[in-house]
Amino acid sequence: MIIRILLLAVLSLSAQTKKDWIPLFNGKNLKDWTPKITGYPLGENFANTFRVSNKLLQVRYDGYDDFASKFGHLFYKNPYSYYVIAVEYRFVSDQAKNGPGWATRNSGIMVHGQDPKTMTKDQDFPISIEVQLLGGLGKGPRTTANLCTPGTNVVREGKLFTPHCLNSKSKTYDGDGWVRVEVKVLGDEKIEHIIDGEVVLSYEKPQVGGGNVSKHDPAAKQDGKLLTGGSISLQSESHPVDFRKVELLDLEGCMDQKAKNYKSYFVKAANGRCKY
């Protein structure tokens, strides 16, 4: 109940906190972002997969002869623990040659991810919590802001949830219109997926475990370890996608009301940051 109230408080303050959102993407270049593509070392942007054009962060495959399971992730420079991340995305054009069927109009935001420096060259996905972004196929329902769990598990209704993916209760977004998804991440307590101010999926106690990640260093996968924070990345899964906005509202900060930088929406104290 308390977390629900805090969520509503964050949403109700969205107008007042506009200046507090941190733009992770500057609309000009990939400054502060590092690519990691399966089969290539950290930092190598194979075939210019991740690029910026017309103020959009784009994922493209015109330089690929064959997708060949070259899954990619674009990592932001800083890890976070308590925050809201928002992206505005759309799917465009056709899927790369030999992209898997399930990856049609499919991308994602990876949160609570492992440090990309600990990924092996041939690892497919970071150990992380994936907020799956899907586009409709023009027939039937297909939700977005779903959950997938590469190398992780979560708790739902008091029980460990081990299946790989779980659909949200969102509507289907066909076509190439922009969709805004927000994710509220509260350390190892709770994560909520939000569209248009509505929580479409929530779960607790994100933790390392399960499968659906391959060729990783076993030392990086300590099953049962709660995830209190971690990296943030955007996916390349074979379908072209645009991001026009990637922004973050940090929920961890100075909670002393006497300080100049106190914010009423903070939920995690970091009073070492207080300024007087």
Following DSSP, what letter does each residue of the chain receive, concatenated?
-HHHHHHHHHHHTTTTTGGG-EES--SS--TTEEEEETTS-TT--GGG-EEEETTEEEE--TT-S--TT--EEEEESS-BSEEEEEEEEEE-S-PPTT--GGGTTEEEEEEEEPPGGGS-TT--S-SSEEEEEE---SSS---SSEEE-TTEEEEETTEEE-SSEE--S-----TT--EEEEEEEETTTEEEEEETTEEEEEEEEEEE-SSS--S--GGG--TT-B---BEEEEEE-SS-EEEEEEEEEE-EE---TTSTT--TT--EE-GGG---
Residue 96's alpha-carbon distances to 67, 69, 140, in angstroms, are: 6, 11, 23
The string of pLDDT tens digits covering residues 32-58 is 999 999 999 999 999 999 999 999 999
What residues contact 95, with CB distance under 8 A and at least 6 apart? 103, 104, 105, 238, 239, 240
CATH number of domain containing 139: 2.60.120.560
Percent of the chain surpassing pLDDT 70: 94
The string of pLDDT tens digits covering residues 141-191 is 999 999 999 999 999 999 999 999 999 999 999 999 999 999 999 999 999
Is this structure's pTM higher than 0.95? Answer: no
**Tokens matching residue 12:** 């109700």
As to burial, measured by CB atoms within 10 angstroms (0-12 exposed, 13-18 middle, 19+ buried), residue 164 is: middle
The string of pLDDT tens digits covering residues 202-221 is 999 999 999 999 999 999 99
Number of domains in the chain: 1
Residue 18, pLDDT score: 75
Mean pLDDT across 229-250: 98
User: Per-residue confidence at 14, pLDDT binned at 50, 70, 90?
Assistant: low
Residue 5, pLDDT score: 45
pLDDT above 60 (res 71): yes
For residue 231, the enclosing domain spans 2-273
pLDDT above 90 (res 4): no
